Structures are given as structure tokens and as C-alpha cells.
Chain A
């Protein structure tokens, strides 16, 4: 069939129709939104790589040569801090990589050459830093609980966000506590912190929200969440 002329290209098209179609074509994610999605995509790749590396480590002498195995582990070790940095939205600190299992690569202290390093900078805030959360095992302890997949982490955080959007901050906080317990080494920690502060604020606990926001901002003054947090809580 002949390709029809699009409404937007028709001579004498209705102004309101044109206006709506132009608007529809021009919509796009915000810069922050784009960065968050792309950081999530990068994390999916690294999570897969880490998983592959763990499998490689299990294979040991029966599978890959030790050189290949350590190369895989090294790649995962180098990639993970960059992704965590992307996800946190913060300037990346020099990171001691102390993830358990396969990520305990020989090069355990890694500073990605491609990312700005701040050797004296603060560590990114994680849910483990938050006073409201139940105590978690140290991230690198030998007995650390196995952590769920990134998909599970996204889904759990989504439950909290949906509860908050649905006008139920108490349920959101409850879901965030579940999140903190299930994911002691959160890959979406900065976002979870933001949701927690919003939930506290929405539940009328403004003082607690402000305290938490100030703690976050002290460690992450240039966070993409900073302006929103300051506006929301009045934190400096």
C-alpha cells in the first residue's frame, strides 16, 4: 500500500492535533532519568559478569586455567566500582573492593582509571549507614548473606516506590526495611536512601528526614538528588 502522509506533514492540518503530535514526538527522559536508566543497564551487565566470574571460579582447575579465571575476576572487580558510582550518582571514591566470593579478586583495591578518584573522599552512603535500619552483617564478612539478583533488588525497591506513590509512606518504609535486609550491599543504595527520605517526609517525620538528608548531603554534596533533598527537607 502507498505510504500515507502523516498528520504532521499534511497541509492544513488541525493546529491542536499538530500541537499534540509535536509534543508527543518531543518527549524524552530527563538527563537524570537517562543517566539512571543507563546506570541500571550497566549494572545488569556487571551483575551478569560477576555471576559468570563466580561460575568460572567454581570451575577452578577443572575448567578454566587460573590465568583466565583471574582475568575474569579482575574484569568484574574493575567494572563493579564504576557501576556503583554510576548508580549512586556520586563522585566515585577510591574503593576497596571487598565483595565476597568471586569478586575477591587479587586486585582487591581498585581505582578505575576512567573515573574521577577521590582518595580522601567520603564513601557513598548506603542503607547500612542509616540509623533506622536493622543491623546488617558487615558487607565483606565471611558469613554475609547471599544477595538477590539485581532484578529482585529493583523489584523490591519498586514496591517501596509504589507504596510511596500510592500515598502510603508507612508501607514504603516497611518495604525499604525489607530491602535493607535482603540487600545488605545495595546496588541502588542512593536511590533507596532518596525514597526513604521522601517516605519519612511524607509520613510527617520531617525532623528525621532532614537529619538523614543532611547526612546524605554531607557525604554526597553533588548528588543529582541534592537539590530535591534540600527542597524537600530544608537540609543544607
Chain B
């Protein structure tokens, strides 16, 4: 299959940040996100000729979700194989003082997102983080607008509950960060 190099380059330039963030929010560690992004564009190189221009972002999102799922499985296998040598991921412990530490905040973000079911997380990521409209999300995920709305409501509840649980755990006082 011939690759349209110019199109592939444009797509990568336009959407690399989007793909990278989606991979991260779907559980790919930052240390693996570059490699996973490259895999997304490797798939795109093969399939892009079959994808209409207006569906490029949707295609990349679906591909990123699939690559992220594979990456998570691979990470689980690694952890399982080396359980004797490594600790399970720690529950992020973010105190009021520590929250200024971006690494700890990122760990909390990863945990909150990991706790969210995939179908809710997709909608949450696209709407709350990527600022994509409800209508475009419906097109991207190929689901009815009403379903997007209901998933978003449940996703927000899950997000807020996770934050509340975390706050209860560490006694976080609202207003510590902005």
C-alpha cells in the first residue's frame, strides 16, 4: 500500500498532541507514550488512504484507544512477571503540600482516569479535556448524541466521586491548588 507521505506528515503534525494525550488518558505511562504514538501513526500510514479527511481524528482516536489497550495489557504482563521485584502501582498519596508537585498530581490524574470505565472515559476525555463538542463526539464514536450526553453525566459523576474519595483519604482541604 503506497503511503501518502505529505498527508501522513500533516496528520501527525496536526494530531500528535491529541494522540499523545489520549494515549496518556487511556493509561499509557508517559515513558511509553512516544512509542505508542509512533505505533498509532504506523497504523495510520497503512490505513490512511481508506480514511476520509473529516474522519482522520476519529480514526486516530480509535487507533489510540486500541494501542493503549494493548499497551496496558503489556504493562500488566510486565508487572505480573516481575511482581517479586517491583511493587504494584502505589495509590497516589497527594497531600496539600505535595499537590504542587506535578508528578504526584499526574499520578492522581492517571489513577482517577484508570478507575473510569472505558466507555465513559472516552466521552470524558473528548469533552472535558479535548474540548470537542457533543455532536462531534457522537460522530467520532459513532453513537447517538443522547448516549454521549448520558455517558458524559456518568463520567462526570465518576470523576467527581474519585476526587472526593481521594480527598477523604488524604484529608485534602479544598482550595489548596488552583
Residues of A with Cβ closer than 8 Å to B? Answer: 1, 3-4, 6-8, 14-21, 23-25, 27-30, 33-34, 36-38, 40-42, 44-49, 52, 150-151, 154, 158, 161-162, 165-168
Q: Are B2 and A3 in contact (CB under 8 A)?
A: no
Cα–Cα, bound, A142→B133 (Å)? 57
Q: Which residue of B lies closest to A150 (CB)?
A: B42
- 29 A-B pairs in the complex with CB atoms less than 8 angstroms apart: A1-B145, A4-B134, A4-B149, A15-B178, A16-B166, A16-B167, A19-B177, A20-B105, A20-B112, A23-B109, A24-B129, A27-B20, A28-B17, A33-B37, A34-B16, A37-B37, A38-B9, A38-B13, A40-B42, A41-B8, A44-B41, A45-B3, A45-B6, A47-B3, A49-B5, A161-B35, A167-B78, A167-B86, A168-B81
Q: Is the CB of B78 within 8 A of A20?
A: no
Contact yes or no, A45 B9, CB < 8 A: yes
- Would A37 and B109 be within 8 Å (CB), given that A21-B128, A166-B81 are in contact? no
Q: Bound complex: CA of A1 vs CA of B127, how far in Å?
A: 14
Is the pair A29, B16 in contact by a Cβ cutoff of 8 Å?
A: yes
In the bound assembly, the distance between CA atoms of A15 and B74 in angstroms comes to: 34
Contact B127 A48 (CB under 8 A): no
Proximity string of chain B (105-144) to chain A, C-beta cutoff 8 Å, 1 when within and 0 when not: 1101100100000000000000111010110000000000
Residues on B with beta carbons closer than 8 Å to the beta carbon of A8: 128
User: Is the CB–CB distance between A44 and B8 below 8 Å?
Assistant: yes
List B residues 1-48 near A (Cβ within 8 Å): 1-3, 5-6, 8-9, 12-13, 16-17, 20-21, 24-25, 30-35, 37-39, 41-42, 45-46
10 more CB-based (< 8 A) A-B contacts, given A36-B38, A161-B35: A15-B178, A20-B112, A33-B37, A38-B9, A38-B13, A41-B9, A41-B45, A150-B42, A165-B32, A166-B78
A206 to chain B, nearest CB (A): 20
A154 with B39, Cβ < 8 A, contacts A23-B105, A166-B78, A166-B82 known: yes
Complex alpha-carbon distance, A184 and B134, angstroms: 50
Could you say which interface size class chain B belongs to? Answer: 35 or more
Question: What separation, in Å, do the CA atoms of A151 and B1 have in the docked complex?
Answer: 13
**A17→B85 contact, CB < 8 A:** no
B residues contacting A by CB (< 8 A) are 1-3, 5-6, 8-9, 12-13, 16-17, 20-21, 24-25, 30-35, 37-39, 41-42, 45-46, 74, 78, 81-82, 85-86, 99, 102, 105-106, 108-109, 112, 127-129, 131, 133-134, 145-146, 149, 152, 156, 159-160, 163, 166-167, 172, 174-178
- Chain B neighbourhood of A18, CB < 8 A: 178
Q: Are B86 and A37 in contact (CB under 8 A)?
A: no
Chain A residues whose C-beta falls within 8 Å of the C-beta of B134 in the assembled complex? 1, 3-4
Shortest Cβ distance from A55 into B: residue: B2
Residue numbers in B under 8 Å from A151 (CB-CB): 42, 46
The residue from B8, B9, B33, B178 contacting A19, defined by CB atoms under 8 A apart = B178
From A1, A20, A49, contact of B108 by CB (8 A):
A20
- Partner pick for B174 among A1, A3, A16, CB 8 A cutoff: A16
Contact between chains at B33 and A20 (CB < 8 Å): no
Knowing A25-B129, A38-B16 touch, does A17 contact B38 (C-beta < 8 A)? no
Partner of B34, one of A24, A36, A44, A165: A36
Beta-carbon contact of B2 and A19 below 8 Å = no
- Given the known A-B contacts A1-B149, A166-B81, are A28 and B20 also in contact in the complex, defined by CB atoms under 8 Å? yes
A45 to B2, CA, bound (A): 9
In the complex, how many angstroms separate the beta carbon of A17 from the nearest chain B beta carbon?
Answer: 5
Instruction: For A168, list chain B residues within 8 Å (CB).
Output: 81-82
Closest CB in chain A relative to B86 CB, distance in Å: 7
Chain A nearest CB from B145 CB (Å) reads: 6
